[in-house]
Amino acid sequence: MVELLNPILWHSIVAAATFFVLPTLGEIYAERSGILNLGIEGMVIAGAAGSYAIAYQTQDILLGVLFGMFIGGLLATIHAILTITFNRNQVVSGIGLTILGTGLSGLLGDAVIGKALKGIDSTPIPILNDIPTIGEVFFDQNIFVYLSFILAPILWFILYKTRIGILIRSVGENPSASMNQGVNVRLIRYLCVIFGGMMAGLGGAYLSLGWLNFWTDGMTQGRGWIVIALVVVALWNPLGAFIGSYLFGMFDVLQFSFQHEAIPFIFPTGIPPSVLKMMPPVSTILFLAIWGIILSQQKVKSIVGAPSALAKPFED
Amino acid sequence: METVLEMQNVCKTFYGDGVEIHANDNVNFSLKQGEIHALLGENGAGKSTLVNNLFRRPDSGTILLRGKEVELSNPIAALRHGLAIARQDLSKSLIERHTVAENILSISEGFFLSLSRIEREITSALNKYELGDIDPKTKIWKLSGGEKQRVEILKALITDPEIIILDEPTSMLTPPEIVNLFRLLNSLRSQGKSIIIITHHLEEAINYCDRITVMRHGEVVATLETEKEKNAWASEEEGIRHLATLMVGKEVLYELARKKMEPGKLTAEIQGLFATNDMGDTVVNGVSLQLKENQILGIAGISGNGQQELVEAMLHWRKVDSGKVLIHGKKIDDVSIVQDITGKSIREIRDLGIAYIPEDRRKALILDLSIRENLILNSYRKSGGLFIDQKSIVNVTEELISIFKIKTPSALSSVRSLSGGNRQKVVVARETTLAPPEGRKLILIAENPTFGLDVGTTQFVREELLRLREEGAAIMLISSDLTEVLALSDRIAVMYKGKIMGILNSQEATREKVGLMMGGSTLQEAIE
């Protein structure tokens, strides 16, 4: 039987979940401003390859991370130009960028496939680290994980308690009304989309430099797509980003731990890996279906739910 | 009096569907300090475009503020120069999911947001301008149409502007609220503020405004001094007729000849109907009504008081929670048969000869199909079999296009290429020619059938309703335009918060009584 209370297991769940938290936070901001970015997968994977390559060449991890964010931001800028300035279809542009980002990752990472690099060490936080179990699970991680802990509440605060936050929400709800009040709709959307891309790039850098410590083609295994679903699960709330991310982080880790578990009658010789691998996508679909039913109620929709102007072209 | 605002040779052109629309063609307009200036014109005459030029650059022309040329390229620039506008289309001006306070951002500044300070300012401004009690913490979607309109007006006033522009501010207000609004505008005028008001109600322009500018086809036709003109007009009616003539460009018959007719047989009946809106709130609250042949039953009320849900529940577009909709008499001499159509399919209901003109024309037309295809949407099944009888369709639709004077190069043009008025003519042509089953007369449910139409088409639609009445149709006319309801109806039911406040016949119904009932008074209170 797998030791479910094993701190080491939970330590790796936190590490896996952090990968989902960072891009989800970025995509929440993009969608809150009304722009759907389906190119997250491309930005994550290009960020992962780019940051690993640069870090390997220069032996400077920080430079690598910054480059990963730059690549993500650059791809997002293309999305912003197409969808905000030229009002093109957001779905088409996003999918196109995923293809572009995947191709770019092959190019950037070609030279460093399988090359070892010492990644980012964990930095235990004094005092907090000494709390039994919890300290081990949460406070003996690397800087990326702490960043996700800090960023989520900060981004929540900005979104709900500051002027720029309400402008972002207004622009995503009703761009015409915002413009009539003198808000620069396009500027805000540009900032949010580029920020989203940078967060996706940061997620990619974490994947290759902070978590798995290698680069290989297609190493995201489609995790970028799950981010799109996580935004819905999070109800477009930065704090909600944790809920879905940790759930999916759990699936990610447990699929290895449960491989040799036998379930009487169904899988007497252990759960086949293919079944475990199915868990994340199947649970995504289940989640979205349940959420969809709940959110389709008009009364619920007027309180929570997708930003009203999400993915709608806006011409002033 | 000093001129505060001047627009010289302003032009604005829109491009759409392969046509250029000169919405403003060398328009000159001036606003004096301390005046209320009405801007009149038919739909599409360019009124909203003209005032919008103050919030985004026009294609060409100069804008002078107190004699100095200014460039007002965006709403912020306008705000800084002391201009504010309450817009007509609230769906593009208010954010439904946000609170009143979150909607009024123009008074917030800095990085952090102090909603409590904004909320206090809103409450004190509401009191100052006597715009009534609205909790600034309420979400916009919870407000009624009139409350939303007052929030929009407050949003303009709260910046303390020198020039106030109101684009159709009274469409959702009750008559007493309208009186209040003009009292407020009067006091603002006496403080030296200058006000532009766009309106469709000519009597508002005559009674409350200092000057009136009339626009037609993107040009200014005339600017009148109300006081001077009033001396020349024998009565308010003559003034209205004069203004209407200027707006349309030709003499319009403003009177409708409603022949006296005895009410016919009872043909449809609503009994204690309850229905909810999309939010799940009960907005149709035990409505009972009767429709008779040769009669127009008017449903008066400010829009958003459950009228739309009532109609949708009758026609099975919406679930009926309780109550019944009954159709009397299968044949003309067979009064005893009563059919319950509650919960029947839309097709079954329509096949009984029930026609429907919805307010939202997108509910009645498929914009990308041709005029011909749209005209046969409720009769194509008569062809039978797999194929459509092309020949008879061509005959029928060509006839309808000529009878209803639908202006189009061809029956094959898409409905999208038509103007709003001609689109409505397509709907009216199709619905009013719906053939009821043998021996029955038409039942027509018309929901704001003249909404957004110009004077000419409005006249046409109203005459059409009266013609059908004479032919024996039972008509239910839901309208938020009180003038229309009073002019056309034999009986008037006033709806308020989902209830029928009372039913008056055309002799006893006056603008005042109906107006009071639209604001929630009972029939008894209104008579006293």
What ipTM was reported for this prediction? 0.86
Q: In what order do the strands lie in the sheet with B83-86?
A: B83-86, B163-167, B194-198, B36-41, B211-216, B219-225
Residue B34 phi, psi dihedral angles, 5° rounding = 70, 40
Chain A positions in Cβ-Cβ contact with residue B103 (cut-off 8 Å):
177
Place of tokens 């939303």: B148
Domain ranges of chain B: 1-82+161-254, 93-156, 266-353+441-452+466-528
Place of tokens 């609205």: B134
Hey, are the CB atoms on B79 and A182 less than 8 Å from each other?
yes
pLDDT the model gives residue B331: 53
Q: What is the total residue count of chain A?
A: 316
3-state SS class at A146: helix
The residues near B20 (Cβ < 8 Å, ≥ 6 apart) are B13, B14
Distance CA B331, CA B313 (A): 25
Residue A3's pLDDT band, with cuts at 50, 70 and 90, is low
Mutation target for A interface from B100, B105, B118, B283: give the one with most A CBs within 10 A: B105
Chain B positions in Cβ-Cβ contact with residue A170 (cut-off 8 Å):
95, 98, 102, 105
Which range has the top average pLDDT, A9-18, A117-126, B338-347, B372-381? Answer: A9-18
Chain A positions in Cβ-Cβ contact with residue B94 (cut-off 8 Å):
174, 177
Residue A107's pLDDT band, with cuts at 50, 70 and 90, is very high
B230: number of CA atoms within 13 Å, CB side?
Answer: 12
SS3 content of chain B, % helix, strand, coil (to 5): 35, 25, 40
Of the candidates A165, A181, A302, the beta carbon closest to that of B75 is on A181
Of the candidates B74, B76, B97, the beta carbon closest to that of A173 is on B97
| Structural contact between residues B304 and B145, judged by C-beta atoms closer than 8 angstroms | yes
3-state SS class at B330: coil
Q: What is the mean pLDDT of chain A?
A: 89
Q: Helix A163-173 vs helix A7-32: angle between axes, to the nearest 10 degrees?
A: 70
Chain B positions in Cβ-Cβ contact with residue A180 (cut-off 8 Å):
55, 75, 85, 87, 92-93
| Eight-state DSSP code of residue B169 | T
The residues near B172 (Cβ < 8 Å, ≥ 6 apart) are B144, B145, B146, B148, B149, B302, B303, B304, B480
The residues near B135 (Cβ < 8 Å, ≥ 6 apart) are B100
Distance CA A250, CA A18 (A): 11
Distance CA B175, CA B528 (A): 17
Distance CA B192, CA B186 (A): 10
B1-82+161-254 to CATH, choices 3.30.830.10, 3.30.565.10, 3.40.718.10, 3.40.50.300: 3.40.50.300
Chain B positions in Cβ-Cβ contact with residue A179 (cut-off 8 Å):
75
3-state SS class at A16: helix
Give me the residues paired with residue B119 across strands: none
pLDDT the model gives residue B332: 45
Instruction: Give the mean pLDDT of A161-182.
Output: 92
Chain B positions in Cβ-Cβ contact with residue A176 (cut-off 8 Å):
92-93
Tokens of residue A101, six digits: 């980002």
Cα–Cα nearest to B369, from B292, B426, B433, B318: B426
Q: CB distance from B110 to chain A under 8 Å?
A: yes
3-state SS class at B334: coil
pLDDT the model gives residue B176: 83
Burial (CB < 10 A; 0-12, 13-18, 19+), residue A75, is: buried
| A314–chain B nearest CA distance, Å | 12
Q: Between these two residues, B439 and A106, which has the higher pLDDT value?
A: A106
Class of domain A7-304: mainly alpha
Mapping DSSP onto H, E and C, the string for B202-247 reads HHHHHHHCCEEEEEECCEEEEEEEHHHHHHHCCCHHHHHHHHHHHH
Mapping DSSP onto H, E and C, the string for A251-282 reads HHHHHHHHHHCCECCCECCCCCHHHHHHHHHH
Domain ranges of chain A: 7-304
| Structural contact between residues B210 and B61, judged by C-beta atoms closer than 8 angstroms | no
Q: What is the pairing mode between strands B491-496 and B499-505?
A: antiparallel
Q: Which helix (H) or strand (E) holds B298?
A: strand B295-300
| pLDDT tens, chain B, 528 aa long | 789 999 999 999 887 655 677 889 999 999 999 999 999 988 778 899 999 999 988 999 999 999 999 998 888 889 889 999 999 888 889 999 999 999 987 777 777 878 888 999 999 999 999 888 899 999 998 888 889 999 999 999 998 999 999 998 988 888 888 899 999 999 999 999 999 999 888 888 999 999 999 998 889 999 999 988 888 888 888 888 888 888 877 766 556 778 888 888 888 999 999 999 887 788 999 999 999 999 999 999 888 889 999 999 999 888 899 998 988 876 544 556 777 888 788 888 888 889 999 988 888 999 889 999 999 988 877 777 778 788 888 998 999 999 888 888 888 888 888 877 788 899 999 999 988 888 788 999 999 998 877 777 888 899 999 999 999 999 999 998 888 899 899 999 999 999 999 999 988 888 888 888 888 888 888 777
Instruction: Give the mean pLDDT of A23-35.
Output: 97
Query: What chain A residue is nearest to B280 in terms of C-alpha separation?
Result: A299
Total Cβ atoms within 10 A of residue B232: 10
Residue A133's pLDDT band, with cuts at 50, 70 and 90, is confident
Distance CA B311, CA B40 (A): 32
Is the sign of the CA dihedral B435, B441, B447, B453 positive or negative?
Answer: positive
pLDDT the model gives residue B19: 63
| Structural contact between residues B326 and B268, judged by C-beta atoms closer than 8 angstroms | yes
Q: What is the CATH number of domain B266-353+441-452+466-528?
A: 3.40.50.300
- Alpha carbon B286 to its chain's center: 26
Hey, are the CB atoms on A173 and B74 less than 8 Å from each other?
no
Distance CA A83, CA B127 (A): 44
Residue B152 phi, psi dihedral angles, 5° rounding = -60, -40
